Amino acid sequence: MVSAKIAPSLLSGDFSRLAAECERMLALGADYLHMDVMDGHFVPNLTLGAPVIKSLRPHTRGFLDCHLMVSRPEQWVDDFAAAGADLFCFHYEATEDPRALIDAIRARGMRVGMAIKPKTPVDVVYDLAPALDQVLVMTVEPGFGGQAFMPECMPKVAALRSRFPDLDIQVDGGLAPDTIEAAARAGANVIVAGSSIFKAADPAAVISLFRKAINDAQPAA
């Protein structure tokens, strides 16, 4: 069995009080803090970078799950390691040598994730998966929050879970109480959600619902 990990996306939080938002999410039951890093080039939006992670690190005990939606992610490995990132997730589409990048990330003491866009075939992951801690299957086009969940990405999740039963498989984009069941049934166990948590009347209840859906979808021991 793989453990459920709920990762609120701080992109939907209040950036003027980012550390407090991180601690609030942890108190509500979050496992990871998902940090969306966008460069205005690989994706059209521009968000935070390593200096923000460095400033945040002393103020939160949380696991900083950094999703780099950036061109040439190789150039940021040292900066994010020095800033205190716990997991460095790069996009397969953004690098020419993913295996060398995996090695570089791990050499700097971070856990390694690799993300694929909705139109990227899942088989690009197969040879690299044994070297990864986490695979992120995007369920929206990366770059903006608030997009609708793409159920057509679920066969990729299912294919990964079938081949790699112990792998952390993350999904990001449009995850909400009405879409979590599809993701959980497909085999996702790491759930990124922004607006569905931060804008909820009871964020803790949404986090709990996500966790229950994942646990309920696990095969019986």
**Is 34 a known ligand-binding residue?**
yes
Number of CB atoms found within 10 A of residue 4's CB: 21
pLDDT in tens, 144-200: 767 899 999 999 999 999 999 999 999 999 999 999 999 999 999 999 999 999 999
Contact 113, 134 (CB under 8 A): yes
**Is 146 a known ligand-binding residue?**
yes
**Is 78 a known ligand-binding residue?**
no
Residues with catalytic roles: 36, 172
Domain count, the chain: 1
The CATH number linked to 18 is: 3.20.20.70
Domain that holds residue 10: 5-217
State the pLDDT at residue 221. 56
pLDDT in tens, 26-75: 999 999 999 999 999 999 999 999 999 999 999 999 999 999 999 999 99
**Is pLDDT above 70 for 79?**
yes
**Is 143 a known ligand-binding residue?**
yes
pTM of the model: 0.96
Q: How far apart are CA 68 and CA 101, in angstroms?
A: 13
**Is pLDDT above 90 for 1?**
no
Element (H, E) at 126: helix 123-126
200: exposed, middle or buried (Cβ count in 10 Å: 0-12, 13-18, 19+): middle
**Is 36 a known ligand-binding residue?**
yes
